[in-house]
Structure 1
Amino acid sequence: MLSLSTRKQFSCLSSYAIETISERNLKTIQPFFETLPTDPYLEGNYRFRRFSHFQITDRQLTQLPHAFFYQSKTYNRLLGNVKRDYEELSIALVQSEPFKQAVLTFFEFCRQCSPFREVGVHQIRIATHLNQSGNPAPEGIHHDGVDLVGILCIARQGVSGAETQLSVVKGAEPILRKVLNPGELLVFNDHQFFHYTTPILPIGNSGYRDVFVFTCPDIPFDSPA
C-alpha cells in the first residue's frame, strides 16, 4: 500500500514522506532567491535558477567542482540532450546553517534508499504575473533519472496552484495531490513515482514560488561522463 510516512517509517519502495522544517529558519535564506539569474534555457523568463552539488561525509557538506546539468530526452522531453550550465549557489547561502540542515534532512532519506553520497541542489523561483502563468514542470509528468527526489518549499507569495502530484503509472490518477507550504519537504523514490507540479497563477498582479529541489545522486544516471 502506498502511503504517507514519517522518516522513521519511510519505505523506499512503498511510501513517500513529508517532513516539516522550521519556516522561521528558512526565512533567513529566502532573500537568496531574490538574486537568482533567469534560466536561459526556457522561454518566457519566468524561471530563475542556480545549481550546485555536494558530497556528504560525517554530516559535513563539501561543494563539488562545477558541473553541467544534463538529462536525456528519456527524462526530459523539453530540454533533453542539452548540456545546461547554471551558476553555482551563492557562497553565503551554502555556508548558512539553515541551508546545511535542509540538505542534511534530505540526506537522511538518501542513506536509506541510495548508495550515493552526493546530493544535487536546484534553487528555483517560478514567477507569474497577469499576462503569464509560471510552469514549475514545463516538461510534463516525469522522472528525474535519479534514486531520490526532495522538493522543499521556501516561499509562496501571491499565487494559486503549484499542486505537486505523484503517480505510479504515467497518466493514471495521482496517488498524491499536495500544495506544499513553506517549510514542507516532500521526499519520494524517483524510480517508483512519476511527479508533476501544476502551473501557478497570480492572485493579484504578480507572485512567485521558491523551492529547493534535492536529488540523490547529484547528477542523473544518463549524464555523460
Structure 2
Amino acid sequence: MQEVSHATELEYAFLFTLRKVNSLNLQGFELFFQNLPLDPYIKGKYRFRRLSRIMVAEERLIKLPHGHLCQRREYNPLLGDIKREFAELEDEMIELDIFKSLVLAFIDTCKLHPEAEIGVHQIRTICSPGHSGNPAPEGIHQDGTDFIGIFSVNRENIQGGETHLYTAKKEKPVFNKILQPGELVVVNDHQFFHFTSPIKSEIPAPGARDVFVLTSPSLMTDLEMM
C-alpha cells in the first residue's frame, strides 16, 4: 500500500479524513447485506444494491420519499444521464442504533446542517474463483455531490478493493488504502476523484465486499418529477 507522506496528510486534512467509527457491532448489518437485490444497471451479476435518502429530525432518522438517482455523464461516464431506481433500504435496518450512529458520524465529520438530506447506498460486490468483482466500473470519477463517505462493513475472502483518492484523473493517488471493517473515509467531492480497485477471491471460494456509501446531497429526485 502506498502511504501518504506526513506533509501531504496535513495539506489535505481538511479535504478528506479517515476515521474509525467505534462501538458498532457490525454483525448487526450481516443479514441485511444478504438480502440485497441485484444492481440491474451494470453488466455481470456481481453487484447488489439498495438506496434511500434520509434526514435526521429530533434525533430520529426519517426516510424521505422514494426517488431515482441521476448523475451527469461528466461525473459518471458509464451510467451518466440515466435515471436509475433502486429498492429502498429496509426499515428494520434504518431503525438500528448502529445505522443511526454511522449516519451521525458522517454528518458530524462533514459538519452538515442537522436537516441535511443524505443519500445512503448499501452495496455488496462479490467475486468467485476466476471472476472478479468491480466496485467502481465507471473508473476514476467524482459523484457530482458535496461530500462522500465510504464505510467498510465487511470483507470476506477477498483481496483488492483498495480505495484511491486523486486530485486529478491522470495524477498519482494522494491516498490509497484498503478500508477495514469499521473504517470510514469522508471526501470533499469537489476536490477529489475516487476509485476502488477490483476484488478477487483470496482462496478458491466466493468472496464479498460490503460497504455503505453516503452522499450529501443525495443526488436523488422524487419519482413524480421524472
* TM-score, normalised by the number of residues in structure 2: 0.89
Letter in 2 for 1:79: L
In 2, distance between residues paired with 1:198 and 1:182?
17
Q: Which residue of 2 aligns with 1:84?
A: 84
Against the structure 1 CA distance between its residues 190 and 216, is the aligned structure 2 distance closer, same or farther, given a 3 Å change threshold?
same
1:143 aligned residue: 142
Match of 1:218 in 2: 218
CA, structure 1 residues 101+157, in 2 after alignment: closer, same or farther (shift >3 Å)? same
8 Å contact kept, 2:54–2:63: yes
- Inter-partner Cα distance in structure 1 for 2:23 and 2:153: 8
Task: Specify the SS of the correspondent of 2:56.
Answer: strand
Cα-Cα RMSD: 2.2
How much has 1:27 moved relative to structure 2?
Answer: 1.6
Query: Is the 8 Å Cα contact of residues 23 and 182 (structure 1) preserved in structure 2?
Result: no
Partner of 1:161: 160
- Which consecutive unaligned segments of at least 5 residues does structure 1 have? none
| SS class of match (2:164) | strand
The 1-side partners of 2:105 and 2:24 are apart by 16
Q: Aligned pair count?
A: 216
C-alpha displacement at 1:115, in angstroms? 9.4
Contact residue 133 and residue 201 of structure 1 kept, 8 A = yes
User: Which stretches of structure 1, 4 residues or more, deviate above 6 A after TM superposition?
Assistant: none
2 CA distance for matches of 1:24 and 1:90? 19
Give % identity.
43
2:24 matched to 1:18? no
| Matched residue type, 2:101 | Q
Secondary structure at the aligned position of 2:104 is classed as helix
CA drift at 1:121:
0.1
How much has 1:137 moved relative to structure 2? Answer: 0.4
**Match for 1:121: what amino acid?**
V
- Give the 3 Å change call, closer, same or farther, for CA 24–119 of structure 1 in structure 2: closer
Cα separation, 2, equivalents of 1:65 and 1:150: 22
Report matched runs for 1:1-225 at 5 Å.
Answer: 2-3=8-9, 11=14, 15-22=15-22, 25-111=25-111, 117-204=116-203, 205-219=205-219
How far residue 116 of structure 1 moved from its aligned partner, in angstroms, is 7.1
- Specify whether residues 58 and 24 from structure 1 end up closer, same or farther in structure 2 by C-alpha distance, changes over 3 A only: closer
How far apart are 1:131 and its partner, in Å?
A: 2.4
3-state SS of the aligned residue for 1:45?
coil
Which blocks of at least 5 consecutive residues in structure 2 are unaligned? 1-6
TM-score scaled to structure 1, two decimals? 0.89
Q: How many Å apart are 1:22 and its aligned residue? A: 3.3
The Cα of 1:24 is off from its aligned counterpart by 5.0
Amino acid at match of 1:99: F
